[in-house]
């Protein structure tokens, strides 16, 4: 019975991975936290296999960017290598938007590597390439850099800019993230009442989205 269960689990894992990318489906890529919540240990393995396939450039760049970003909480060296590899591909393809998006991912990795000056440089470069609708994660990462430096007022400026952008775009996720970041910054300044207020506001917006 145990052997049968293990074989069935392996089969289901293979099926799940195969379903990550299907060019005959709309959308062709089941992006985690957008099209699926199935972010288990097999997801990144499946994503690596998908990236190795012969895919349209834009789809390959989307998968490569996600692969580098989701590895950055697990293995920074691997994430850094992947981000640079996919960034080189985007540059060769002369895809300005994806160059900017991959620079945001690279900035997040450099931040976690404590290479703060390099993180700011690459994030500011990304800002020149991307439309405002692609700025929320960029502003969040810039805020994190200045928070790590201990410049909490500067970090709050970026969080407030993100909040204004979320209001303009009517993007609830961006608003919720901005309130969450501001809550954290108030906590670090020992402004606990304000921190609770902004934190609860963030939770309320996330709940509106079913998160």
pLDDT digits (tens, 9 = 90+) for 110-133: 999 999 999 999 999 999 999 999
Distance CA 38, CA 21 (A): 14
Q: What predicted TM-score, i.e. pTM, was given to this entire model?
A: 0.84
Q: Is there a contact between 194 and 175 (Cβ–Cβ < 8 Å)?
A: no
Residue at a domain's end among 130, 149, 179: 130
Tens digit of each residue's pLDDT (9 = 90 or more) over 159-208: 999 999 999 999 999 999 999 999 999 999 999 999 999 999 999 999 98
Query: How many CB atoms within 10 Å of residue 108?
Result: 25
User: Residue 204's domain is classified under what CATH number?
Assistant: 1.25.40.10
Note whether residue 16 is domain-resident.
no
Note whether residue 45 is domain-resident.
yes
Please indicate, yes or no, whether residues 207 and 149 belong to a single structural domain of this protein.
yes
Q: Which residues pair with 29 in a beta bridge?
A: 21
Question: 109 lies in which domain range?
Answer: 41-130
Note whether residue 178 is domain-resident.
yes
Please indicate, yes or no, whether residues 71 and 87 belong to a single structural domain of this protein.
yes
Confidence (pLDDT) at 37? 66
Q: Is there a contact between 20 and 47 (Cβ–Cβ < 8 Å)?
A: yes
Please indicate, yes or no, whether residues 48 and 75 belong to a single structural domain of this protein.
yes
Note whether residue 56 is domain-resident.
yes
CA 169: distance to chain centroid?
A: 18
Please indicate, yes or no, whether residues 89 and 169 belong to a single structural domain of this protein.
no
Confidence (pLDDT) at 180? 97
Note whether residue 87 is domain-resident.
yes
User: Residue 81's domain is classified under what CATH number?
Assistant: 1.25.40
Residue at a domain's end among 69, 104, 130: 130
Please indicate, yes or no, whether residues 123 and 144 belong to a single structural domain of this protein.
no
Please indicate, yes or no, whether residues 56 and 122 belong to a single structural domain of this protein.
yes
Note whether residue 10 is domain-resident.
no
Please indicate, yes or no, whether residues 49 and 68 belong to a single structural domain of this protein.
yes
- Residue 62 pLDDT > 90, yes or no? yes
Query: Pick from 100, 107, 146, 105: which is nearest to 127 by CA?
Result: 100
Supply the mean pLDDT for the chain: 88
More confident residue, 13 or 43: 43
Please indicate, yes or no, whether residues 92 and 57 belong to a single structural domain of this protein.
yes
Note whether residue 209 is domain-resident.
yes
Please indicate, yes or no, whether residues 140 and 194 belong to a single structural domain of this protein.
yes
User: Whose structure tokens read 């990318």?
Assistant: 21
Distance CA 178, CA 100 (A): 21
- Domain count along the chain: 2
Query: Pick from 202, 154, 196, 200: which is nearest to 178 by CA?
Result: 202
Pull the structure tokens for residue 72. Answer: 């950055």
């Amino acid at each position: 019975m145990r052997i049968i269960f293990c074989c069935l689990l392996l089969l289901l894992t293979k099926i799940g991975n195969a379903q990550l990318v299907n060019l005959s489906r709309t959308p062709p890529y089941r992006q985690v936290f957008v099209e699926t919540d199935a972010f288990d240990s097999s997801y990144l393995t499946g994503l690596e296999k998908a990236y190795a396939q012969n895919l349209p450039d834009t789809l390959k760049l989307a998968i490569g960017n996600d692969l580098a970003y989701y590895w950055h909480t697990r293995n920074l060296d691997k994430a850094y290598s992947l981000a640079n590899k996919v960034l080189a591909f985007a540059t060769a393809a002369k895809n300005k938007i994806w160059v900017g998006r991959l620079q945001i991912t690279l900035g997040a990795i450099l931040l976690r590597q404590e290479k703060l000056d390099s993180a700011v440089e690459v994030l500011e470069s990304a800002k020149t390439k991307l439309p405002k609708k692609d700025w929320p994660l960029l502003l969040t990462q810039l805020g994190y850099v200045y928070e790590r430096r201990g410049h909490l007022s500067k970090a709050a400026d970026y969080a407030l800019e993100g909040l204004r952008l979320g209001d303009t775009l009517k993007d609830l996720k961006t608003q919720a993230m901005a309130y969450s970041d501001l809550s954290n910054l108030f906590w670090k300044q020992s402004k606990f009442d304000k921190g609770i207020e902004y934190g609860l506001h963030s939770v309320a917006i996330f709940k509106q989205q079913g998160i």
